[in-house]
Structure 1
């Protein structure tokens, strides 16, 4: 079971392929804040809702200096299909080895329909401009989560 990150921790750097196979590194985002969210599988109802929520709010988040990166164990080809089918604007990256998921504490034992299983723990980590963890949220809900983050970060349309 991987350790969960805490505010103030250095966010583990990663370099992973996006939906087009292009390498994306967290370190390339220094100077901006990044919302890194971890989800179990592309093209599933909950993950689709969450990715669409982030896409719908991307302009608002970007305007406040936030970039969004979604991480799942899906292969880049599946991420490409997901992006096309749902018209997603967020950056989606592939972590089939689950190394990044584990480094962020977003992979391990979880409850699914009353059973304990090992898998991706739906999580969101907000990384500040210096690469430090600002917030780390685990076992989040797919629905309503983006609105909660926006509220918690004090972001409003009236900015």
Structure 2
């Protein structure tokens, strides 16, 4: 997993419509919160996304763009996003999963996809990094809130 304080590499992502998504495109304008779900079928992860959706206005006011990264392909991710009417862009990997690109691997005999989050400031520096093997620990709500507050104090 990538670490706080280091530059975020420009990983290859795409949205559910197949459009390339580059983190570098947000540099200088927006902070980006990448939330990595274990899977779209994970009820715990879906609860975390629901909480993020409830905080969407606050995150937008802090100029934080939320991207929900899923390991499934575009079609499945698009259907999942539409069913939940998410206000966020949902992204998948262009080559492999977005999880692999940041070091979130499958644990427990390769059966359990890690989940987590990265908050990248508009200068491209990671301000929050969190990873977990168990889905209940994959969403660090307090850590994300503190990192967003810190961004607001600095700017």
TM more than 0.5: yes
Aligned to 1:19: 16
Structure with the higher helix share, 1 or 2: 2
Contact residue 19 and residue 76 of structure 1 kept, 8 A: yes
5 Å-filtered alignment, 1:6-155, equals 6-31=3-28, 32-95=30-93, 97-98=95-96, 100-108=98-106, 110-111=107-108, 116-139=109-132, 141-142=135-136, 145=139, 147-153=141-147, 155=149
* CA distance in 2: counterparts of 1:52 and 1:154, whole angstroms: 18
Moved more, 47-56 or 120-129: 47-56
* CA distance in 2: counterparts of 1:7 and 1:143, whole angstroms: 18
Cα 1:6–1:143, aligned 2, differ >3 Å: closer, same or farther?
Answer: closer
How does the TM-score come out when normalised to structure 1? 0.79
Contact residue 38 and residue 123 of structure 1 kept, 8 A: yes
Contact residue 17 and residue 74 of structure 2 kept, 8 A: yes
Contact residue 131 and residue 138 of structure 2 kept, 8 A: no
* Unmatched 5+ stretches in structure 2: 150-155
Give the secondary-structure state (helix, strand or coil) at the position aligned to 1:153.
helix
* Unmatched 5+ stretches in structure 1: none
How does the TM-score come out when normalised to structure 2? 0.81
* CA distance in 2: counterparts of 1:49 and 1:62, whole angstroms: 20
How far apart are 1:102 and its partner, in Å? 2.3
Give the secondary-structure state (helix, strand or coil) at the position aligned to 2:46.
helix
